[in-house]
A and B are shown apart, each in its own frame.
Chain A
């Protein structure tokens, strides 16, 4: 299985602080994507990083990918209460399926 596994399982931070979460996977990949899920809701796509990329930014999000270590990190800077959610990494090897990790639950305290 090429499933991603997130670390930590849960994270609680103060508003304005940065949140960092990590994802590890087992096999070679084409892409790694990060998704956000608010409680009981749908999955919102945040960012995709390809296997030949090392770092990508989107607004307050920064994603890194280290294919030699089979790991990725997601950094959310200057967190807001609205960032409270579960964050999942998902990997794919082709266009046909995503393998999801168990997710990191982030709580941003006001």
Chain B
């Protein structure tokens, strides 16, 4: 069964460094998303992406964040200058447009 994959599974970085989280959505899906979950808290929407542009973004998704679909398979989330409060599990999801979103296993980002 097709699934969303994410790399790396765990990323440790120093405050102020740039990180890129990578995702490979399900191949025939058209809608792509990033969510995050701070330890012990709710899953929060960050951004959605469709037709090579951002469809919607949350207040969390400020100028430090960007997304890109550099080729036909990858979908990336970049954080330009990480802060301590960016430490969280980041989930990528994709959808074929019928509502169901399929999530990847997540990348645990730890900012020191």
Contacts and interface: CB of A to CB of B under 8 A. Distances in A.
Given A33-B99, A44-B103, 7 more contacts: A33-B100, A41-B106, A42-B105, A43-B93, A90-B43, A96-B31, A102-B41
A60 interface: no
B18 interface: no
29 contacts: A3-B42, A30-B99, A33-B100, A33-B101, A35-B103, A40-B89, A41-B105, A42-B103, A42-B104, A43-B93, A45-B100, A48-B100, A90-B43, A92-B99, A95-B48, A95-B95, A96-B55, A96-B56, A97-B33, A98-B35, A98-B45, A98-B101, A99-B45, A100-B35, A100-B42, A100-B43, A100-B44, A101-B42, A102-B42
Interface residues of B, number: 27
Interface string A34-56: 01000011111100101000000
B48 A96 contact: yes
Chain B: interface secondary structure? strand
Contacts of B45: 97-99
A3 to B, nearest CB: 8
Interface of A: 3, 30-31, 33, 35, 40-45, 48, 50, 88, 90, 92, 95-103
Contacts of A35: 103
The 3 closest A-B pairs by CB, nearest first: A42-B105, A43-B103, A100-B43
B95 to A, nearest CB: 7
